[in-house]
Structure formats: structure tokens, C-alpha cells
Structure 1
Amino acid sequence: MLAQRIANPPATLQRAAIDDPRWTAFIASQPDATLFHHPAWVQALAEAYGYDPFLIIHADEDGNIVAGMPVLDVRSALRGRRRISLPFTDYCPPLARNAQRLTFFAEELNRWQIDAQSSIEVHGALPDIGGVDRVQVGFGHLLSLEQDPARLFSRLHPNIRRWIRKSLREGLTVRLGTSPADLEPFYRLHWQTRRRLGVPLQPRSFFDSLWRRVIEPGFGFVAFAYFGERPIAADLFLAWNGTLIGKFNASDRQFWSLRPNNLVVWAGIEWGCQNGYRLLDFGKTDRHGGGLRNFKMSWGSTEVPIFYSYLGGPAPSPLDGLASRVLTRVIQASPPVVCRVAGELLYRQCA
């Protein structure tokens, strides 16, 4: 009986398959929907980490979705079983036709987790209702795009414009990639960057799924900066529904003097302007990431706080942060293979 209660939301909410065509139609009608709400992203996560994906939705009398969110059923040896929308995802709040629908959805979601005895973690701010623990986890940075990239370029901070021009004078070139062959050079740069930061590398299976589900079908691309024939920086962008998301930025530190990171960010911005996108989301920055926050704001972005919401269970404790700092020192002081092995063994458990 308990298993049945956990599996099925109350009558006001429904559980649906992640590829339900009603959901695809609904999110396409929502200007705030991003690729993080799209089945392609959810399926990439589920396939790589072995989580069960589904939707929690509220439908009207005609069966049309009026509110909902994608969810992964996460079972972790470190933190137990939780439903998360979505793990390893910067920001994925529920979507609704209007504020009233959103509040109703949040209230019913809270009732569901109480009945099912299962905690829910939402990577977004739920309405201010009882039983929700909202915690600021970092900052987002949003840049409004224009049809004319030259006009946007003229509004950038003088240092940003100077560094982009420097990259081009030094002979760096840009190439946008979406093919399977582009995975390997991106992965090498990403591996170097993760080790330098002292954080585990995502399993290779995640990037295999990401390429197959997202990049190759046209929901994103990688902007590479080349010095001669050598790729020295890359920025992986997710692109859908008018919002461009800078998800993974990677570079070879020995070429930092050429400013390749600025060049690949600008390549993504330029592509977004030329393809009718209205917004660049630079991704989540931790609350203590002052240097990265300054870099993102130097592009003229607007800084906004990011909140996560927890129902039926507490937010992560400070101990999680202490463990993270210890792991950082170990990875940075160890051979490169440790970064990859740590990711293969531990990453799935860190959701």
C-alpha cells in the first residue's frame, strides 16, 4: 500500500511519462521554459545516472496541462531516496499558466509528499506556502540579447571588448561543433578544468548521453577556440525556446593570456543574437564564487538570486560543504585520473 501511495500523486495531480506530448506542447507555450524542462535534457540525465524520470502535472477538465514539472526519482547511498526537479540542473522551477495555478500546484505537491512520505527537492523557488524550506543556493546572471550583435558588443564592458579583440589579433579562431567528433576535444578540456577546480568529473556516460540526446539533435552546441589546430577553450551551450544557457566552460590554462574564454562566450552570444534568442543564462554561481560572479556581471548581465525549495526534508547541511572542501584538496593534489575515477564512483551519489 505504501509503495502505491509513493508511486501515485493525489487525484489533483497526475504522474505522466516524460515524453508525454501534452508536456512538450505545454512547455513550448511557456516563455520561461528552458531546455532544462525539455524531455531531451531529462532523458540525458536519466540515461546516464540510472534515475527513473517522470512528470508531475496538473491538468484541466479537458486534459490539457496547466502546471507541472519534470522529476527524477533519485536513490543515493549518501542522502537516501528523494524526488528532485532536477539533479545536476542549475534551475528548473515548476511551470504554470498563471500564479494561481502555480500556488495550487505547490500546495498539492506538498500534500503529496506528506502522504507519500517522500521528500521533494525543487531547483527553483516555490510560492510562499507552509511546509516549504526555501534556501538561496547561489546567483544567476541573465543577459538580454539583441538582433544586432554589433550593437550588443558596443555595450559590453571595455575590458571585455578589448580581450575579445586581443584573442582575434593573436590568431585564435572559433568553430561551433555539434558532431560526435566534437565530444572528445571538449571532454579533454572539461577534464582539465574540473581537476584544476578540484571537483569530480561527470561520468563519461553523461556526456555520451548529452551528445546523443541534446547536442546532435540540435538543442545545443559547443563553441571552440582554436590556437592553430589546437582547441584551447570551449563553452557548451544549451539552446531552446529563446533562452541560451552556458552550461560548461572549459579551457587550457597555459593559453589564458590569449583570453580564449572571452572569445567562446562571445561566440555563443553572437550565435544567439543571429538566431533570434532573447536571453543568455550564464548558469548558476555559488554564493561564495565572487570572481566568477564578477566575470559574468562584466558582460552586462543582471544578477538574480537562485533559491531551491525543499518539501519533507531539510536542505543540505553545512557538513556537505566541509566534505566538498576536503574532496577538492584531494583531487587537486592527486594525479589527473583521480578526478575521473572520483566522478565515476561518486558523482551519481552526490545528487
Structure 2
Amino acid sequence: MVSPPVTTTRQCHPGADSIHVVDPRYDGRWEQLTRSTTGSIFTSSPWIRAVCDTYGFEPRGTVATDVAGEPIAGLADVEIRDFRGVRISSLPFSDRADPVLRSSKAWIPLASGLVWSDAPFTLRCLDGTPPAVDPMFRTEHRAAWHGTSLTGSPADLFGRLHPSARRNVRVAGRNGVEISVSATLEAVREFHALHLDLRKRKYRLLAQPVEFFERIWTEFHREDGIVTMLAFIDGQPVAGALFLVWQDVAYYKFGASLASHLAARPNDALFWTAMQWASSRGLSSIDWGLSELDQPGLVAYKRKWASVERQILTIRSGNQLSDEGADVTRLLTELTRLLTQDDVPSRVTAMAGALLYRYFC
């Protein structure tokens, strides 16, 4: 049984009555904030629990409340101490973790109530949000973000897609691509096998362990908030996607496919199935997540499905990572290259991911 989290309250700040330091995995005020329209999957308590319970992190939530005790702003972060040095992240392994603000003015009392240090503090947020224009941060990286509004009928949605997306959906149908939609843990594990193979063979990267995916399933299955879609050709899984639901948004979090079957357009069939599924659930939009700008093919692919495009900024305050930490980063990069060679058994690659992935944040 989980012990009740410890909550501390600090002095008042302009624009807020109190600043509280809470455990965002369990605190009711944090839950109330993140279930508002400005919260996202990545600041939700279930997501934070899945990440932190997998990697042994202790998250910290800073919540500003008004005179009536109602939460008006919050930011979650994790202090990481390992052989790469001390650093603070909001939040590890998340596309973004924008502060949850009832209004843009709420950033001022929230920021003044945060515990600042010289350690590197990294935050990922959408462009145009208050921290993105705050002079205390410097922008160190930019990535693309895409979203799709689900207003209208399925015919309306299909008609708004890029012509090449509509064409590829039809190609997938002619090639016998079949899509399964499942909320089971077994489907998550089947998807992870595809995910592991893609990360290793295409990107030469390690994958997060299957235990992380299992924890995600445990957290979101409780609220019917996770679905795995798999594309089959002649009974073989050739592509997959994992979607999470928070509030009225479907989040495309992970995707994978076999290069040998891309000509059959299984990913287009998956995306179109996801749009129909989300629309049938009455969801308002799909968040297609982060895409690196140095992967123009992926950015262009998501543009075919999206109705809006913005940027996710990685912003930072405090010192740079120490020289020793930079040396460790280079070592991890070289180890990753060695452990993702074709002659390394996938079982070994998976074990390496389980051992090392927590240090990639």
C-alpha cells in the first residue's frame, strides 16, 4: 500500500496565495489541475507514475493555489543524480511537459515559487507558452509538433487529408492490410517487439524496456485510456501504434513498422483507423507528438494528417552539463552503437535498453 505523500507549503507570492510542493503522482490538487483543459498526458498522474516507477525517480510538483485554495498553476520535475551529474528535468521521457496554467499570468507566481539551483534545468514546452518566452530560459533545441482536429463526420475527416494520404489508405486496402484494435496487455507486448526491432535496425538506438510499456498499460487501462493498433498482412504483424487517451485527446505515443512491408502502406491504414476510432469515441483531437526536424521524412508524413503544426522547444536554465557528464554521454552513445549492431542478439539489445535507458535523460 502506498503511503500518503508528504506535502509542504511555502510562503505566498504575488498572484497566488500559497505555493505547495507535492507528489504529482498522488496529490489531489495536481490531479485537478491536469484534468483541466491545459493539462496534457505528459503531466498526468498516471504518466508520471509509469515513468517514475519504472526508473526509480522521485517527482516533485510545485502547485500555486489562490486564496480559496484552488490550484491555478503547476509544474512537475525530477531531480536526477547519477554518473552524468546532477540535473533537473520536466519531465524525463516525455514529448513535452508544459506547466499547467489556468491563465498565462499564473506563470509568474509559479515561477517565483520554484526551487532554482545552478544545476541544469530542462523543460520541453510548446512555442508561445509563457516559459518559452521567459528570459530566464535559453532555447537549446526545436522539434515539430502536429495535431489534428476531429470535428466533422468520418467523410469530412477523410476529405481533409492530404491527397497522398487518401491514396495510400486505398493502397493499403488493396494490399490486404488488416488492422486490429486492442486494449489488451498482450497487444502491447506484441507491439514492443516491433518497436525494439525498429529502434535497433533503423535508428541504431536502444528501446525503453517492455516493463515501461507494461506500466503504461496498467496505469491507463484503468480508465480505458490505452489502445494498441497492429497492422497485419497475411497474418503477420508489420506495423503498430500505441495511443493513449487523456481528457478528450488521443495521443500517438509510439509507432513502429517493418521496412520490408512499407510499400503496402500499413502505417497509413493505422493512422486512418486511429482517426476513425478517436472520432467514434467523441474525442476532440489527436496529438501526433514530437518529430525531430532532422527527420524531414517523418515531419512531412505527419503533415499529411495534421491540421495544425507548432514547435516543441527544449529550453534550459542553470549551468551546462559538466565535462564529466558530457564524457559519459559520449560513452553511452558509443555503447549504444555497439549494442545495436546486426550481429547482436535482440535479446541482448533489449536487456541493454532495460539497463541503460534511464541515463538518456
The interval holding the TM-score normalised by the smaller chain is: 0.7 to 0.9
CA offsets per residue over residues 228-277 of structure 1, 9 Å max, x none? Answer: 33222111111112222111001122221211111111111111112222
1:303 to 305, 309, 317: 309
Would the aligned equivalents of 1:102 and 1:127 in 2 still touch at CA under 8 Å? no
> What is the correspondence of 1:92-171 to structure 2 with a 5 Å cutoff?
92-109=97-114, 112-114=115-117, 117-124=118-125, 126-171=131-176
Q: Is the 8 A contact 1:148 1:274 kept in 2?
A: no
Q: Name the CA distance, whole Å, in 2 between partners of 1:321 and 1:280.
A: 34
Q: Output the aligned Cα RMSD.
A: 2.5
Letter in 2 for 1:272: A
Instruction: Normalising by structure 2, report the TM-score.
Output: 0.85
TM-score (norm 1): 0.88
- 1:222 aligns to 2:228 (yes or no): yes
* Residue 86 in structure 1 maps to residue 91 in structure 2: yes
Change (3 A) 1:62 1:271: same
Aligned equivalents of 2:86, 2:196: Cα separation in 1: 29
How far is 1:216 from its partner?
A: 5.2
Q: Which residue matches 1:237?
A: 243
Question: For 2:280, which of 274, 277, 289 is the aligned residue?
Answer: 274
Q: Is 1:246 the equivalent of 2:252?
A: yes
More helix, by proportion = 1
Q: Which amino acid aligns with 1:190?
A: H
Instruction: Give the conservation status (yes or no) of the 8 Å contact 1:133–1:315.
Output: no
More displaced, 144-153 or 319-328? 319-328
Report percent identity of matched pairs: 27
The residue identity in structure 1 corresponding to 2:183 is T
What one-letter code is carried by the residue in structure 2 that aligns with 1:166?
A: V
> What is the DSSP-based 3-state SS (H/G/I as helix, E as strand, rest coil) of the residue aligned with 2:289?
coil
Q: CA deviation at 1:102?
A: 1.5
Q: Which of 305-314 and 40-49 deviates more? A: 305-314
Task: Flag the 1:25–1:66 CA change in 2: closer, same or farther, 3 A.
Answer: same
Q: What secondary structure, in the 3-state scheme, does the structure 2 residue paired with 1:113 have?
A: coil
**2:351 equivalent to 1:341:** yes
In structure 2, runs of 5+ residues without a counterpart are 1-6, 13-18
Secondary structure (helix, strand or coil) at the match of 1:295 reads helix
What's the CA shift string for 1:135-179, capped at 9, x where partnerless?
Answer: 333111122222412211012112111111111122222111111
Does the Cα contact within 8 Å between 1:167 and 1:260 map onto a contact in 2?
A: yes
Deviation of 1:8 (Å)? 6.5
Q: Answer whether contact 2:59 2:78 (CA < 8 A) is retained.
A: yes
Q: How many residues align?
A: 339
Where structure 1 has 5 or more consecutive residues not aligned to the other structure, the ranges are 1-6
Does the 8 Å CA contact 1:166/1:258 hold for their aligned counterparts?
Answer: yes
Match of 2:33? Answer: 26
Take 1:21 and 1:64, find their aligned partners in 2: how far apart are those partners? Answer: 11
Quote the Cα distance in structure 1 between the aligned partners of 2:322 and 2:38.
Answer: 27
- Report whether the alignment pairs 1:287 with 2:297: no
Question: How many angstroms apart in 1 are the aligned matches of 2:244 and 2:106?
Answer: 28
Residues in 2 aligned to 1:223 and 1:254: alpha-carbon distance in whole angstroms: 19
| Matched AA of 2:124 | H
Cα separation, partners in 2 of 1:284 and 1:334, compared to 1, 3 Å: farther
1:261 is aligned, of 256, 263, 267, to 267
Task: Please name the residue that 1:184 is paired with.
Answer: 189
The equivalences for 1:7-18 within 5 A come to 10-12=10-12, 13-18=19-24
Residue number in structure 2 paired with 1:4:
none
Secondary structure, counterpart of 1:142 in structure 2: strand
CA distance in 1 between partners of 2:109 and 2:133 (Å): 11
